Amino acid sequence: MLQSVMFVIRLGWMIVPLLFLLSCSRPLTCPPEGFGPQPVVSTKQGYSFSTGVLPENRSAFLPLENPADAYAARLWLVDHAAESLDVQYYIFKDDRIGNDFLYHLLQAADRGVQVRLLLDDLTTTDKDTNWAMVSCHPRIEVKIFNPNPWRRFLRNVALILDIETLGKRMHNKALVADGRAAIVGGRNIGDEYYLPESPVMFIDADILAVGAVVPEISEAFEIYWRSEESIKAEKILDGAFTPESFARTLQNFRQINETFEASDTFETIERSAFMDAARRGTLKFTLADRAWFYYDLPQKVSTSKRDNETHLSSRIREDIEKTRESLILVSPYFIPSGPMLERLKAARKRGVDITVVTNSLASTDVAVVYSGYRKYIEPLLKMGVRLYEVKPMQFEKKGLKRRERRQRRMSLHTKLIIADNDRLIMGSANIDPRSVKLNTEYLLEIASKPLTTEVTNSLKKVMDLDHLYRLAWEKYPRWAANGDDDFYGPVWITREKNETVRYYRPPGVGFFKRLGIGLFGLLPLEGQL
């Protein structure tokens, strides 16, 4: 049997070169005219924030919790950049937000700003035409991180055959403007991170940084940009433009975005609290005592180069080990695994009050992750961790049909740690094996009592049974335990119609979804989750 399996694998790899030749893209070629003459003349005067003169080696921060504010902040940085924009994202979707953000980057390049765009290749294929188009701009450079050489044909087959390499991704998210201001956090570029009319709306958080920490973020970007894992887009993108096809593509792209920016949806962003305060010069930054920026090295995704020293798991471990009073962990994908579980146990023995907030089975956008998390519910509860899951809150919009309203839901995507009420840790990393071992991540740690208090207070506004399920380990009633009088298990406690309700199965989902999660839990998948 083993010999047969090995034969199939060897046969597959014999076929790989042939399939690769069949699927190779044409080299990207731009028409001679391209974007036409590009005078280096900036129509913007740059930007300034009302932070005053920051002390040397100090940084100031502005949390971006509201999705409209988060997108408005990105547009503000892009539209007011005078010299450079460094853009790094895991997901950059081909939707309204994705196209609009790219449109603003193109406008920045038109006025003389040098734009560098670094994208992970997990979800870029559908936008190859747009990437190829903007790559033709003389002031835009695009690189693809850990690219899949098969752009369309058998792309997923390539992923399966080379999961050891292509299964490891650049999960980082950062935008740096003029080396003076940066946004980092959990949001990618796509409708579901910023627009409430998306079928799924992510509850997420970013932070805008100015001051001493920004050069550290720029340095991390530079390391990724120059790494051998980042490949110039023109070497791998599929596309050969004629003057006519280029002009048509550019015209369609601009028309689509001009229509979007005339919509009521975009007006919400234009009228956001951030945009209003930015125009008035009244944005309120909080000065931090100190800030650190940590990052994995890009070679973490390489099978030949092991980067164990810079894995962010070591930073999170150190923060947990020095915590003495309280710890709040917010992670949409929460699989603590053995080592993390032991650190949490040690923290509880020191008397640390621990709260964990993660997705419920009904709210998660990656249901299979719940199969890895589920087995940790019992040990977490029994060691005294307060464990909460986000309810699949539905939200409505006027004009939608009833079925469309029912399909709309909110899902947690925030990655956040609050330690001892004076340290705020946020970035791209989840608390799961994938962030620890497979993906590259960014992490920003801020020492600031006022900022931590601000974020904690915002979190407490939704830390109730109207928005969350509180989990407990309790004895089941006989009817829920199939007649067993002494059965104990997880209970989901919440409030519905002003009454406390208990669920003895993951609420909000049907039998078959629970069955599927149970079956996935039997498979050795945790290392990939």
- The 10s digit of each residue's pLDDT in 323-340 is 999 999 999 999 998 889
Which token pair is 140? 């835009």
Mean pLDDT of 511-519: 79
CA distances from 116 to 230, 284, 350 (A): 12, 29, 47
pLDDT tens column, 48-91: 665 566 888 899 999 999 999 999 999 999 999 999 999 999 99
- Residue holding tokens 């497979």? 438
Query: Residue 363 has what pLDDT?
Result: 93
Identify the pLDDT of residue 167: 76
Q: What is the pLDDT of residues 184-223, one digit of tens each?
A: 999 999 999 999 878 888 999 999 999 999 999 999 999 9
What is the assigned CATH class of domain 24-41+53-280?
Answer: alpha beta
CB-CB neighbours of 77 under 10 Å: 24
State the pLDDT confidence band at 512, using cuts at 50, 70 and 90. Answer: confident
| Mean local confidence (pLDDT), 131-144 | 92
CA distance linking residue 498 with residue 500, whole number of Å? 7
**What is the rounded average pLDDT of the residues 139-164?**
76
Question: How much is the pLDDT for 125?
Answer: 62
**297-528 matches 24-41+53-280 in CATH topology:** yes
| Closest C-alpha to 231, from 86, 115, 117, 108 | 117
Residue 8 above 50 pLDDT?
A: no
pLDDT at position 333, please? 96
CA distances from 159 to 16, 148, 167, 168 (A): 12, 8, 7, 10
Round to whole Å and give the CA distance between 77 and 207.
Answer: 13
> Could you read off the pLDDT of 286-309 as tens digits, one per residue?
999 999 999 999 988 886 555 555
- Residue appearing with tokens 């949001």: 187
Determine the 3-state secondary structure of 210 from DSSP: strand
Token pair in block for residue 411: 């899902």
Using CB atoms within 10 Å of the CB of residue 523, give its burial: 0 to 12 exposed, 13 to 18 middle, 19+ buried.
exposed
Angle ∠(56,61,62) on CA atoms, nearest 5: 155
The yes-or-no verdict on residue 375 having pLDDT over 80 is: yes
Q: Is the pLDDT of residue 429 over 70?
A: yes
Given the candidates 3.40.50.150, 1.10.540.10, 3.40.30.10, 3.30.870.10, the CATH classification of the domain at 297-528 is: 3.30.870.10
* Per-residue tokens: 357: 């907030």
Q: In what side-by-side order are the strands of the sheet with 206-211? A: 230-232, 140-145, 114-120, 84-89, 174-177, 181-185, 206-211, 59-64, 286-287
pLDDT given for residue 213 in this prediction:
97
CA 100 to chain centroid: 19
Ranges assigned E (strand) in 244-368: 286-287, 290-295, 326-330, 353-359
Least confident of 123-127, 320-324, 357-361: 123-127
- pTM of the predicted structure, to 2 decimals: 0.90
Tell me the pLDDT tens digit for each residue of 442-494.
999 999 999 999 999 999 888 888 899 999 999 999 888 888 888 999 999 99
pLDDT of residue 155: 65
pLDDT band at 4 (very low <50, low <70, confident <90, very high): very low
pLDDT in tens, 79-102: 999 999 999 999 999 899 999 999
Q: Residues of the chain with pLDDT > 90: what percent?
A: 58
pLDDT computed for residue 402 by the predictor: 45
Cα distance between residue 31 and residue 33, in whole Å: 5
Nearest Cα to Cα of residue 85 among 9, 165, 140, 20: 140
Q: Give me the sign of the Cα torsion angle 293, 297, 300, 306.
A: negative
pLDDT value, residue 303: 61
Q: Which residue would you say has higher pLDDT here, 128 or 411?
A: 411
Q: Where are the domains of the chain?
A: 24-41+53-280, 297-528
- Residue 366 identity (one-letter amino acid): V
Rg (CA), the chain: 24
Q: Between 276 and 526, name the one with better pLDDT.
A: 276
DSSP SS3 for 291? strand
pLDDT score, position 226: 97
